Amino acid sequence: MSEDFIERPRKNEKDGAIQYVKQLLEQALEEHRNEDVNKLEEVFRLLQTKKYGLVWEEHAEIVEEEMKTKIPVFVEAVEKKIVGNPEVKDYNFLLEGENLHSLHLLEKTHSGKIDVIYIDPPYNTGNKDFIYNDRIVDKSDSYSHSKWLSFMSKRLKIAKHLLSDSGVILVSIDENEHSQLKLLMDEIFGEHNFIETIVWDKKSSAKGVPPRNMMVGVHEYILAYQVSDKFRFLGEKRDETGFKNPDNDPRGPWRESNIKSTTKPLEEAFTITDPNTGKEYTNTWAFSKESLERMIIENRILWKKNLPKQKEFLYNMRNSTKALKSNWGVFDNQRTTMFLKKLLPDVQFNNPKPLELMKYLIEVTAPENSVILDFFAGSGTTAQAVLESGGNRKFILATNNENNIAQEITFARLKKISEGTEFYKGKDFNLKYFRTDFVDKNDFPDFQLEDELLNYITPLVELEFGIDISNPSVQIILTEEQLGKLIKEGKLEKDSTLFLHPTVLLNNKEAELLSKLNVTKQIIPDYYFGKDLW
């Protein structure tokens, strides 16, 4: 092959064109031809863009435009607070509104703090499931993929910032956007952070639809990405049945299991000897010679008449888990629909994700104290799965209120789950319900804006710490009198956090006390709204 062969396609031509445009640009700069400079700079930029990757037409979004001039905030719907477990101070959250808005605020409260993000976004089937800028994107829209990609890329970029180092994101999808999503996520999370494409089968597929080419699609995908290699699946618990201790072995319950190998070739056979009887057994074994000799000394071998077995101890099995397979099997996709119909007979929600699928997903990804976010929450299956998985897991759901879904389905479902019904035993949990809103900068000139924003601090503090503000470990102090009273009444807690209005100044005694009690001070509203203010 000739030495000057350059593998990258048409690199020579491209380099030539770049040099030529560079010359033209330099000339235009010298001659102060500003209009030409702008245009040539754009041509220069375009020539340098990379060749491989996902290309799509960027589409602006109404909510994004609004956020440029107005400050996004949350407002609590107090009447929708659920206090099902007053004993604990932890709260879960339901955020009603456009999720780009909610994600923007979550970036202030949860950067690097979410353990698991699961989303089930619109699949862009062309069948009224994807609404963009208040309009349905249907099959006739020639920009349908571009719109979907613009929509998803903005949200996934923020999602990445929210994940902790050991966090994971799982995104449900079907064949309509699977390939696009894979490339998009490779770009945002890095190809090296791709974990697997998980597949699961729907028990029942759409009825009455003639199979395409005599093949019917029954599976969906879940794309899994980490942000660093600190993430680990929690694995599948091993089967612990059949352990007994008939010989009172001090090592505890055990069960018989095979030591013969079924896969090794005969040439690898060797002999082991029962030290009590001298009887020899020649076979292919699942363990090396050294391991078996150690097991004999440790009295772990059961010398059966024909074939020895091993004592497999329960203490060895505890905490041990099996690696997961990427095929998660079959889940009944009608059962959760039926459950919802029974729970909320007056409303309809089609195709929630199977509860059992979501429980499995939580079980294998979310440690007991983790925070799980779903920002396309729909009917709230993720929340029910988190609650049924127990532990001290907490959820944050975000969903818009399309057809009143947030109020009449997501919230109504959670309320029923909290209260319980004749066919569902209630779960004890606490929840706060926030709605998205805007503060228009133009309505509040100068310092009025800062004062106005103070009204929106509480929901953010509550969301960040996962609490109700009546919890004494985090307090908001707006005046010096308030601080004085708190100290006087002995209500200042050790290791607590105080959010202080900028006009609240501490005297020496107060500063000393705060430091003695290891109290963290945060200045409001800069802490949350600094960037929006200036």
Q: Which residues bind ligand SAM (CB under 6 A)?
A: 98-99, 120, 122, 352-353, 376, 378-379, 381, 399-400, 402, 405
Compute the least distance from the CB of residue 364 to ligand SAM, in Å: 17
Angle of helix 34-48 relative to helix 11-30, nearest 10 degrees, comes to: 160
Compute the least distance from the CB of residue 329 to ligand SAM, in Å: 18
Q: How many CB atoms lie within 10 A of CB 363?
A: 17
> What is the rounded CA–CA span in Å between residue 16 and residue 142?
35
Question: Residue of minimal CB distance from ligand SAM?
Answer: 378
Nearer CB in complex with ligand SAM: 285/331: 331
Nearer CB in complex with ligand SAM: 128/264: 128
Nearer CB in complex with ligand SAM: 403/515: 403
Compute the least distance from the CB of residue 399 to ligand SAM, in Å: 5
Q: Within its chain, how far is the Cα of 346 from the centroid?
A: 31
> What is the rounded CA–CA span in Å between residue 99 and residue 96?
8
Compute the least distance from the CB of residue 206 to ligand SAM, in Å: 15
Residues in the chain: 534
> Cis omega (within 30 of 0) on the bond before 525?
yes
Nearer CB in complex with ligand SAM: 61/526: 61
Compute the least distance from the CB of residue 365 to ligand SAM, in Å: 15
Nearer CB in complex with ligand SAM: 103/168: 103
Nearer CB in complex with ligand SAM: 402/481: 402
Compute the least distance from the CB of residue 352 to ligand SAM, in Å: 3
> What is the rounded CA–CA span in Å between residue 415 and residue 426?
9
CA distances from 31 to 2, 25, 27, 524 (A): 42, 10, 6, 51
Where would I find the H helices in 318-433?
Answer: 335-343, 355-365, 381-389, 405, 412-419
Q: What is the C-alpha R_g of the chain?
A: 30
Compute the least distance from the CB of residue 155 to ligand SAM, in Å: 8
Instruction: Return the residue matching tokens 């074939």.
Output: 307
Question: How would you classify residue 404: left for phi > 0, otherwise alpha for psi between -120 and 50, otherwise beta?
Answer: left
Nearer CB in complex with ligand SAM: 122/466: 122
